[in-house]
Structure 1
Amino acid sequence: MKHFLFLSAFLLTSFTLCAQEISYPEDERRMSTFELKIEGIDRVEGEIRIALFNSEEEYNRKENPLYAVVLPVDDETITWSQDSLFFGEYAIAVYHDKNENGELDSNLLGIPKEAYGFSNNARGRFGPASWKDAHFSINSERSTMAIEIK
């Protein structure tokens, strides 16, 4: 139960904290256009909440996502694009906030009642996916990823 409470806290905290400013040495400032597709939406209602992290430390602490995005659910697949991501390492947490209350709802045991997912379609055993499993590299001018929420 505490693992699912941790997962709920992880996702909720990720979306309520402010995004942070990042800086890289000048020679690493190559940019990418990134496109994320959220699949597995079972009902066209509510919002999709996305947290994009660029640091293992921030991801593990569930603080300061680089981007915290809220999108209306108007189709069974939602696409989010960002035109200016620096090359680097990232991880994404996403959930379907069906009732638009800004929280990942869970049952009495702490098991999420709303669909969620992580980059690389990584799944945590009793909580959020680890950075090791969820992180990915952006190292080309165009990058895409699909996350299936469950």
Structure 2
Amino acid sequence: MLLLAVLGNLVWPFSAKANFNGELTVEIDGLKNKKGQVCISLFATSEGFPSDRGLQKQCSKITATPLDITFENLKAGNYAVAVFHDQNDDGTFNSNAFGIPEEGFGFSRNPEIRTSAPKFSEAAFLVAGPNTNIQIQLKYF
């Protein structure tokens, strides 16, 4: 009987995590101005990161700086976020003929940007509680 109680206590945390739904709040800082909107994509895997739509995408008018955007009902796990300041409100991340970004951008965990976007693993973070908060500092060239 004691063995069953111990095994039940070991299994319960794992089953509780399977039914877990958390909230992620992303604070976007470093906005150059309040023109346009901010678009943010949430990824649960490396597939398509960072340029595709991802698991969820939100665009929001800039009402304050820093700007907070929230994702709800997230299962526990690793996620990564890509964000850009869509200054001209066209819904796309604009770059010049040489591929240099013309709009501000950022990624979760604020990895150093060299010659290309970071890998999913460089931007990944864990959502494991009811409320997770991260901060992204936008970069402009």
- Into which bin does the TM-score normalised by the smaller protein fall? 0.7 to 0.9
Q: Deviations over 1:91-150 (max 9, x none)?
A: 000000000111212223210011000000123421111111101111111110010111
Aligned residues: 125
Q: Which moved more, 1:108-117 or 1:62-71?
A: 62-71
What is the match of residue 137 of structure 2? Answer: 148
Larger Rg: 2
Note the 1:54-69 alignment, pairs <5 A: 54-59=44-49, 62-69=51-58
Q: Deviations over 1:2-37 (max 9, x none)?
A: xxxxxxxxxxxxxxxxxxxxxxx8852311121111
Q: Between Structure 1 and Structure 2, which shows a larger proportion of helix residues?
A: 1
1:53 aligns with 2:65: no
Pair 111,84 (structure 1): closer, same or farther in 2 beyond 3 Å: same
TM-score normalised over the length of structure 1: 0.76
What is the match of residue 73 of structure 2? Answer: 84
Distance 1:146 1:52 in 2: 14
Distance 1:64 1:42 in 2: 24
TM-score normalised over the length of structure 2: 0.80
Pair 27,146 (structure 1): closer, same or farther in 2 beyond 3 Å: closer
Pair 49,64 (structure 1): closer, same or farther in 2 beyond 3 Å: closer
Distance 1:35 1:125 in 2: 27
SS in 1 for 2:26: strand
Query: Percent of aligned pairs with the same residue?
Result: 26
The gaps in structure 2 that reach 5 residues or longer are: 1-14
Which of 116, 122, 125 aligns to 1:136? It is 125
Pair 81,27 (structure 1): closer, same or farther in 2 beyond 3 Å: closer
The gaps in structure 1 that reach 5 residues or longer are: 1-24
In structure 2, what residue type is equivalent to 1:33?
E
